[in-house]
């Protein structure tokens, strides 16, 4: 299958376009309800981070979302136009000192809802893998 791409300006309201992209993908590819919710949360969280932290809500910068599918996996790649980040040294959102903080759970969620998460290009690209049969 050819990759499916979506490019959006860094406006937080564009998350709804990502949600529609995932809903359409579920219908077209017959993604099971078992992993649909995980995909929806992990991918929208990744795009949200790209808009806010990668592109700093700069509407002149875009976020690219690409879906690759093969027989055994769905691979969503989210790219921003930022400098990246130190993904190896993130605070643990489950640590007592961080429990009450309002943010800082996005990557934790991505890692727990995806089968695999990879950070490329210094963190300006996130790859989320979901295994399917």
The span from the CA of 83 to the CA of 126, in Å, is 13
Q: What is the CATH number of the domain that holds 62?
A: 3.30.565.10
pLDDT band at 1 (very low <50, low <70, confident <90, very high): confident
**C-beta separation of 6 from 18 below 8 A:** yes
Which residue range(s) make up the domain with 49?
Answer: 4-131
pLDDT tens by residue, 19-29: 999 999 999 99
pLDDT top residue among 16 and 34: 16
User: Burial, 99: exposed, middle or buried (Cβ in 10 Å; 0-12, 13-18, 19+)?
Assistant: exposed
Mean per-residue pLDDT of the chain: 91
SS3 of the chain: helix, strand, coil, percent, to 5: 40, 25, 35
Give the pLDDT mean for 42-59. 96
Q: 3-class DSSP state for residue 131?
A: strand
The span from the CA of 118 to the CA of 8, in Å, is 22
pLDDT tens by residue, 58-108: 999 999 999 999 989 999 999 999 998 877 776 666 667 766 666 667 788
The span from the CA of 103 to the CA of 74, in Å, is 27
Q: Write down the pLDDT at residue 88.
A: 75
Number of domains in the chain: 1
Residues 6+ apart with CB under 8 A from 12: 48, 51, 52, 57
Give the pLDDT mean for 15-42. 95
């Amino acid at each position: 299958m050819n990759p499916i791409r979506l490019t959006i300006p860094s406006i937080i309201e564009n998350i709804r376009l990502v949600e529609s992209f995932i809903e359409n993908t579920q219908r077209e590819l017959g993604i099971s309800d078992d992993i649909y919710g995980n995909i929806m949360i992990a991918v929208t969280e990744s795009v949200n981070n790209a808009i806010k932290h990668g592109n700093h809500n700069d509407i002149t910068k875009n976020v690219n979302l690409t879906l690759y599918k093969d027989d055994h996996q769905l691979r969503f790649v989210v790219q921003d136009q930022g400098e990246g980040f130190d993904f190896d040294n993130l605070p643990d959102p489950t640590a007592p000192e961080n429990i009450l903080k309002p943010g800082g759970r996005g990557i934790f969620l991505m890692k727990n809802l995806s089968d695999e998460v990879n950070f490329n290009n210094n963190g300006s690209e996130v790859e989320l893998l979901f295994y399917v049969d």
